[in-house]
Amino acid sequence: MSRAYRVSVSESLRTVLRAQDKVTTQLELLEVLPAETMAELLARELESRGFVRDGKNLVREEKGVQVTVNSETGEVTVSAESSRETELKGTREGRAWDDMGPNAKQVREELRKHLGQELEKQAEQKTARLQGEVTDRLEQALGDIRQELDQAVNRVTAEALKQKAATLGQIKELHEDKQTGNLTIVLEV
């Protein structure tokens, strides 16, 4: 009479989980002045708001969210990423007809294969959760960033209108309401 032997395998998977998300949009900047001048006005306004020049881009990172604005094209990219090291462990058991023979070896290989697939699936699930966290962080930041960039565009447009008005004639009156963004310029031509 044959007896079945219990075969057990243990595996661990150490990996770095990575997740990222980004959104790209376009600033609507009126060309009141030549494009190079508008780009420079935008760059100066963004620098005053904590952005750092990196060539033609202005970049700011805050709370794990990076905002990049191309001052020449007005393209805005908001991105977030995260990585986390994790170690997953697992054990599987099965039965073989021999203790050390070919049947036990085959059972061990099958158990290792299935356990490896199970650990990979767990890693994918953890990556999906991390991706959700990154996306949530990005969505939370988008509202504030959008509002701040709209304010920056309004300030740039107002400054461009002032400069344009000065080239057309003598400015007699200038009223600017910074809360509403209203700008009234009276010129003598």
Q: How far apart are CA 59 and CA 76, in angstroms?
A: 10
pLDDT at 182 over 80: no
Provide the domain limits for residue 128: 5-188
Bridge partners, 81 (sequence order): 20
Residue pair 133/34 in contact by the 8 Å Cβ criterion: no
Q: Is 169 helix (H, G, I), strand (E, B) or coil?
A: coil
Q: What confidence tens digit (pLDDT) does each residue in 93-125 have?
A: 888 777 667 777 888 888 889 888 998 999 999
Number of C-beta neighbours around residue 29 at 10 A: 19
Contacts of 119 (CB under 8 A, 6+ apart): 11, 12, 13, 88, 89, 90
Q: What confidence tens digit (pLDDT) does each residue in 39-86 have?
A: 999 999 999 999 999 988 999 998 889 999 999 999 999 999 888 898
Domains in the chain, number: 1
